[in-house]
Amino acid sequence: MSKKSNQIEKELNEFLKGELPNELYHYTNLNGLSGIINSSELWLSNLYFLNDKNEFELGLKFVIEQLESYKSGFSVLKPTKYFIEALEKAIDFIKEKDAPYILSMTANNDLLSQWRGYTNNGVGVNIGFNKKFFKDNDLKVYKCIYNIEKQKEIIDHILTQSIFMFIGITDSQGIFKDSDDIDFSQYDKAVSIAGQYFIDRTIFFCSLIKDKSFEEEDEWRLLLLDKGSEINFINVGNYFRPFKKIEIKDLNDSINEIMMGPNSEQGLCGSSIKMLLKKHKIEIEKLKYSEIPYRN
């Protein structure tokens, strides 16, 4: 592994272990708040069904472009050509595979674009979950990646590592050769191991790559890659949206605050939310009010 690759790998490992902010906020409408409080559950959306239709596809676009540029160099030898063709098929597999499930959050607790985009034009709340909640429940939360150069660097690293992993495995088996009588079935083990690395890393990082135009949101994502958990469906008008549930064991201990959006009926809305919190034994003092002078 080159010095640069070592550095990128170190950065990625540090990223995966990155420290969470003391509090992360989930913006939602009043129905969303009611659902969370009444059920003691968080609902995570399938990434393919988010509002931004470029979600996930943006990262895959970089993968396809980068793989295409690798063809001329790595396809000179028959074994690496065989592996790159396998990676192209793996991209099709990733596209057809059930996407990760996420809950979008932000470190910013009073942002107008969030009130407009994720509540009913300001009628709604953001729910502040403390860092302890995520750690105690072993929930994986990561910051979205907006920098285009960093996105491409990560994708390039995943591809490079996959290819050299394949070469390393086949070389250790003594089967890496370029001749006319190659038995490609000999390479299946190496393709499987290096290909799985490629698939897992691609799915993970493509789940966090976002268009730079959304950088103001400072989004963090609770990411669920569990294949075995139950998929549920809700009718959202034109289609069913798939989602998965995560139980909140102690609402009062997990929620630091609930901020009400810039609602033209803040008085009535605040009173009703206080009643809801009281019913579920959540400290009413946790209710706060947006300071943005915006009335829908």
The answer to whether residue 117 is domain-embedded is: yes
Buried residues in 65-92 as b, exposed as e (16+ CB within 10 A):
eebeebeeebeeeebbebbbebbeebbe
CB 128 within 8 A of CB 110: no
The answer to whether residue 87 is domain-embedded is: yes
The answer to whether residue 294 is domain-embedded is: no
pLDDT confidence of residue 169: 93
Q: What number of helices (H) and strands (E) belong to the chain?
A: 10, 10
Give the predicted TM-score (pTM) of the model: 0.87
Question: What is the number of structural domains in the chain?
Answer: 1
CB 66 within 8 A of CB 152: yes
Measured CA to CA, the distance from residue 255 to residue 227 in angstroms comes to 27
Question: Range of 142's domain?
Answer: 3-258
CB 263 within 8 A of CB 269: yes
Report which DSSP code applies to 230. Answer: P
pLDDT confidence of residue 141: 94
The answer to whether residue 292 is domain-embedded is: no
The answer to whether residue 173 is domain-embedded is: yes
The answer to whether residue 290 is domain-embedded is: no
pLDDT confidence of residue 248: 92
Q: What is the pLDDT of residues 112-150, one digit of tens each?
A: 999 998 898 889 999 999 999 999 898 999 999 999 999
pLDDT confidence of residue 51: 65
Which stretches of the chain score pLDDT less than 50? none
The answer to whether residue 218 is domain-embedded is: yes
The answer to whether residue 230 is domain-embedded is: yes
